[in-house]
A = this chain, B = another copy of it.
């Protein structure tokens, strides 16, 4: 499912994570046992403990993998997009990616059904996680001229977060048959934001894209897989 299957060890590791992902999405963290995962991945339970010290570390690894996969997806889509990465197409692709990565969505919405007890332990940590398009980012974008000059970047950042949260949470209160296609809606959202906060200036849009590239590069660095590698067992 995810690359780096060169090493046969890695292949198995990913197979286990795939199994975990599938089971956790269906049954939730609490109700998914290590034996279940082993069975689903067609390995022994012991094998799992050759890869991670505990169920918790396995889950942590899964989170890293999913976050990384999510980031990789939307950033590469953004880079390949015709508009090459304006502020609002960035918003659009990061949301679309959320839709395509149910696990990431569960993290974003702090879905207790799925994250179970893990959420209770890590909620504080998750709240500390900042939305990538936060105040600082929007301030930079405004300085670059990619955000309407007389808009308050702090408020707009908060508003954009709220909208994103609303878009992925609203299905709680709307019956599914009433909801239009999600991609259709985020297209509309990006268009709305562009009309309300975009600038016509071509040159400053280029500057904006520059900042986006910097930020996405930084994000990639932050999630570089080597850093979160699993064999810290030696440690103690």
Contacts and interface: CB of A to CB of B under 8 A. Distances in A.
A152 B188 contact: yes
A175 interface: yes
Given A184-B155, A185-B155, A195-B196, A163 B161 contact: no
Interface string A98-136: 000000000010100000000000000011000000000
A179 B53 CA distance: 39
Contacts of A127: 173-175
A180 B154 contact: yes
Contacts of A110: 172-173
Nearest to A181: B155
A169 B175 contact: no
A170 B180 CA distance: 22
A215 interface: no
A189 B159 CA distance: 7
A167 interface: yes
**How many chain copies?**
2
Interface in A160-210: 161-167, 169-170, 172-175, 178-180, 184-185, 188-189, 191-193, 195-197
Most chain B CB neighbours (cut-off 10 Å) among A170, A173, A193: A173
A27 interface: no
Interface in A77-104: none
A158 interface: yes
B159 A185 contact: yes
A149 to B, nearest CB: 14
A23 interface: no
A62 B188 CA distance: 38
A170 B179 contact: no
Given A163-B163, A166-B169, 12 more contacts: A127-B175, A152-B188, A155-B185, A155-B188, A158-B174, A159-B185, A159-B192, A162-B166, A162-B167, A164-B166, A165-B166, A166-B166
Sort A-B residue pairs by CB-CB distance and give the 4 closest, nearest first.
Answer: A166-B166, A162-B166, A192-B196, A162-B170
